[in-house]
Amino acid sequence: MGESRLLSPEPDDHPSDGDGTRCVRAGLPAPTPGAPFLPGPVFAAPYHLDPEQGPAAAPNGYGRPDNPTRRLLEAAIGELEGGACRVFASGQAAITGLLLAVLKPGDTVLLPADGYFPVRAFAADTLAGNGVRVVLVPTAGPYPPLHGVRLVLVETPANPGLDVVDLPELAERAHAAGALLAVDNTTATPLGQRPLDLGADLVVASGTKALTGHSDLLLGYLATRSAELLDTLTAWRTATGAVPGAFDAWLAHRSLATLDLRLARQTANAEALARLLSGRADVSGLRWPGLPDDPSYPVASRQLRRVPGVLCFDLGSAARVARFLAASRLVAAATSFGGLHTTADRRAQWGDDTAPGFVRLSCGVEDSADLVADVTAALDATAR
């Protein structure tokens, strides 16, 4: 494949530490008396240069290629994903940067037919126009022969349908055919699965969602253990300027400390709601990979370290979804997912090819009993 130089995973001085400890300490500088645990954001476009050596004398010369606040965040996410990381201004900036940097005219790319809709729209509008052959494949397969394919991109669990693909098996097939495998890890987060450990060449994700979890910033990232791919992606980001601001990078790093705690409550809430919804005749199409009767459960149970706090279901019509949201006290109508507050999004309103009553519900960190009671009451109020 040509990508032969491998980077070691980000160093982990205490590999036996649990997820909570790793999240709290990821990317922090060595302790210095009188300094904060996480240094404040460095707001700079240009920096002072050495009069003689210029940029060779210090790592910071201009804010677009580098920023010390951004480097700390990249070190933190890299530790969690197990590779070298580059952060971008949004998840869409990261994934489109990956596709444009890696694919050339005449290449073939496999994209998820049931994944994030704007990626498919970008492929149809831009990649195809650039001479890239785009093949759409459902996350759960079946996958066609991969010979002649440059890149396989999967999103697992898929957003919004939550199908799961067997990553080690797909990685083996991709590499045997000379293809790269990239995994969108947005829904799972690096605490739910580490695709690089499962054979993927690249991880791409939106940090806007569960990774940072406070619904107050936009962020994306790419991670890899390939030095060549890292160089390519870094050069692309520098040339296009798709970088997050220093304050967003600082907010994201601050948020990582509570990732384990937030995900634990969100998963518990998703399980409680999934069990509630599975018993209601007025709800159809329930999907949550943690349920034993979910189609993705066999793969998810052996591949995911924890099941995301996102589930989906169908309330039959757009009108009932609206009534349900109006009747609920704790479920807000909002797009995106992974935040502290429970939200629901009727995906068809964004042009996604889902049924009119399809709902993606993202569990927040409210008390489970309160959330179950509220959703029960809202469903009961709109059942007729």
Per-residue pLDDT tens over the stretch 333-381: 999 999 999 999 999 999 888 999 999 999 999 999 999 999 999 999 9
CATH 3.40.640.10 domain extents, the chain: 19-256
**Alpha carbons 204 and 255: distance in angstroms, whole number:** 19
**Alpha carbons 252 and 143: distance in angstroms, whole number:** 36
> Which 3 state secondary structure label does DSSP give 351?
coil
pLDDT score recorded for residue 2: 46
User: Which residue in 131, 106, 107, 110 sits closest to 119, CA to CA?
Assistant: 110
More confident: 15 or 93: 93
Q: Which two tokens stand for residue 233?
A: 């992606």
pLDDT score recorded for residue 84: 98
pLDDT score recorded for residue 1: 43
User: Which residue in 117, 71, 119 sits closest to 98, CA to CA?
Assistant: 119
| Banded model confidence at residue 16, pLDDT cuts 50, 70, 90 | confident
Residues, the chain, total? 384
The pTM of this model reads 0.95
| Banded model confidence at residue 121, pLDDT cuts 50, 70, 90 | very high
Q: Which two tokens stand for residue 282?
A: 């007025």
Domain 19-256 has CATH 1.20.1530.20: no
**Alpha carbons 177 and 196: distance in angstroms, whole number:** 18
pLDDT score recorded for residue 13: 60
Give CA 316 to chain center in angstroms.
Answer: 29
Q: Which CATH superfamily is domain 260-382 in?
A: Aspartate Aminotransferase, domain 1 (3.90.1150.10)
Q: What's the mean pLDDT when you consider all of the chain? A: 95
Q: What is the pLDDT of residues 218-269, one digit of tens each?
A: 999 999 999 999 999 999 999 999 999 999 999 999 999 999 999 999 999 9
82: pLDDT strictly greater than 80: yes
CATH 3.90.1150.10 domain extents, the chain: 260-382
Instruction: Tell me the three-class secondary structure of 160-211, residue by residue.
Output: CCCCCCCHHHHHHHHHHCCCEEEEECCCCCCCCCCHHHHCCCEEEEECCCCC
pLDDT score recorded for residue 11: 60
Q: Residues 6 or more apart from 362 whose CB is under 8 A from it?
A: 266, 309, 310, 336, 337, 338, 339, 342, 343, 344, 345
pLDDT score recorded for residue 154: 98
* Dihedral, CA of residue 316, residue 319, residue 320 and residue 325, to nearest 10: 130
Over range 66-81, report the average pLDDT.
97
Q: Where are the beta strands (DSSP E) in the chain?
A: 84-88, 108-112, 133-137, 151-155, 180-184, 202-206, 220-224, 284-287, 310-314, 332-333, 343-346, 358-362
% of the chain with per-residue pLDDT over 70:
97
Q: What is the pLDDT of residues 38-68, one digit of tens each?
A: 999 999 999 999 999 998 899 899 999 999 9
User: Which residue in 340, 310, 312, 346 sits closest to 326, CA to CA?
Assistant: 346
Degrees (nearest 5) of the Cα angle 379, 383, 384?
155
